[in-house]
Chain A
């Protein structure tokens, strides 16, 4: 924990020195202290826009988790579906979201719907793929054992496959958190009258560059907090996933 902080301090110090000593204009590149000032001065504005973006991110992730898990279950249950739909799923990831975002805004309107669609779209893939991998990671011998115990498909899913997939699902959610924030900002920049993405877009032509940077700091802090929160939650909820499996050779 000390070393990353020291690195951050060194980078910030270098940045500060570069701006101060190089005589760089604040609207081109504000110094970290100026960003700090903006964070404090514009805290009301930043908070208001943050709540908008945070709502989009959180709802989008929940949507992606729900749809992604459902898709993973469906793909897991049906080999035919897996063969048919999995390539499409991968192909969906090659669609450049930057280009799709304005199209979705044009179609779905200016409010929450296109933001959820974009955040959901961007988070859906990591959730689905990791959850599917988790479901399929169960030892084939365990499957055989469950079958000789007379377990139904549903019982095997409930008692073995779903719990086994939970750590993978958490990994998927962690990846989703990182990209969700990017998705929300993109969506806001494609068409919105509020949110941190919108604030960044507005601040630049107004020469309020420090405010734009402050918004970026808030976004990063939010993503890091979500990531850390998920990691803590996983440690709490799935302690067995973080322990060595004993002395088995």
Chain B
């Protein structure tokens, strides 16, 4: 769907003097503050958050619970407007923590959902989705219903759905948090592989520091709420990465230190 992937949306809060920034092919947040109302008052999720993700770069964002990571993704996806600051992002698709496959549709139709929504005929949509199944080890499961798939397989179908949206930016919201440790390791491997084959601009929000280091080109550590970026750890480790790789372990310690979780 290049039709929808071509333009860059730019959402700005009403500011006294709007700044003009060159439109990136990735994501750029500058000085973003965002609060939302809750029953017990207003929660400031983000305060002065800045983040730049270059085209085809994977940036992992880690931080303590409730540091505004989900708000960050909603801003990137244009589901929310920032109350202050600038958000610029190429069209982004949201991938939630749970797979949220439609239980009444088979795996193929679930993966092809973005194409169907874009108005492609069912047959064409399925033909475009089908070749991707083998790539992610889902060959033979095209007509399986979601309840017949394991948690890891369902998450792969959900990722195919995300890819098939054709959006240049993927906003992944703790995509593997609900998987068990073993399946999560496999999921990280296929995600890394898929991004090597088909590079996208990725904002990956995660609790899991190891996951962040395994997948990210850079890791951004966020403060407690109200969240902002407090540290940036580049991960110049060639892929495929292994979790036992000394460079990976070292970066993981760097990130943990930045989060104040390690000495």
Contact = CB atoms under 8 A, between A and B. Distances in A.
Interface of A: 139, 141-142, 144-151, 155, 159-160, 163, 238, 240-241, 243-249
Given A245-B147, A246-B146, A248-B151, A148 B113 contact: no
Interface string B215-255: 00000000000000000000000000000000000000000
Contacts of A160: 102
A249 B94 CA distance: 22
A144 B102 contact: no
Given A148-B79, A159-B116, A238-B104, A246 B94 contact: no
B146 A144 contact: no
Contacts of B94: 144-145, 148
A148 B165 contact: yes
Q: How large is the interface on B (under 10, 10 to 19, 20 to 34, 35 or more residues)?
A: 35 or more
B77 interface: yes
A145 B92 contact: no
Interface of B: 4, 74, 77-79, 92-100, 102-104, 113-114, 116-118, 145-151, 154, 165, 167, 171, 178, 180
B126 to A, nearest CB: 15
A245 B145 CA distance: 10
Contact of B93 (A148, A244, A247): A148
A65 B92 CA distance: 40
B96 A150 contact: no
Nearest to A248: B151
Contact of B100 (A142, A238, A249): A142
A145 B100 contact: yes
A90 to B, nearest CB: 24
6 contacts: A139-B98, A145-B95, A145-B100, A243-B147, A247-B150, A249-B178
B98 A248 contact: yes
Given A149-B165, A246-B149, A246-B154, 15 more contacts: A145-B93, A145-B100, A149-B118, A160-B102, A163-B104, A240-B103, A240-B145, A243-B103, A243-B145, A243-B147, A246-B146, A246-B147, A248-B98, A248-B178, A249-B151
Contacts of A144: 74, 77, 79, 94, 96
Given A246-B151, A246-B154, A247-B151, A149 B103 contact: no
Top-7 shortest CB links A-B: A141-B96, A148-B94, A240-B103, A243-B147, A151-B117, A148-B77, A240-B104
A146 B118 CA distance: 11
Given A240-B103, A248-B178, A155 B151 contact: no
A240 to B, nearest CB: 4
A147 B145 contact: no
Contacts of A142: 96, 100
A249 B147 contact: no
Contacts of B78: 148
Contact of B4 (A141, A150, A245): A150
A199 to B, nearest CB: 44
Contacts of A163: 102, 104
Nearest to B164: A149
Nearest to A246: B147
A12 B100 CA distance: 50
B186 to A, nearest CB: 15
Nearest to B148: A246
A141 B154 contact: no
Contacts of B149: 246
Given A144-B77, A149-B117, A159 B102 contact: yes
A114 to B, nearest CB: 39
Given A144-B74, A240-B103, A248-B178, A150 B150 contact: no
Nearest to B94: A148
Contacts of A238: 104
Contacts of A145: 93-96, 100
A151 B77 CA distance: 14
A146 B148 CA distance: 23
B248 to A, nearest CB: 27
Nearest to A150: B4
Contacts of B180: 249
Nearest to A146: B117
Nearest to A166: B104
Given A246-B150, A247-B151, A159 B79 contact: no
B100 A147 contact: no
Contacts of B77: 144, 147-148
B89 to A, nearest CB: 11
A246 B98 CA distance: 13
Most buried by A among B77, B92, B103, B180: B103
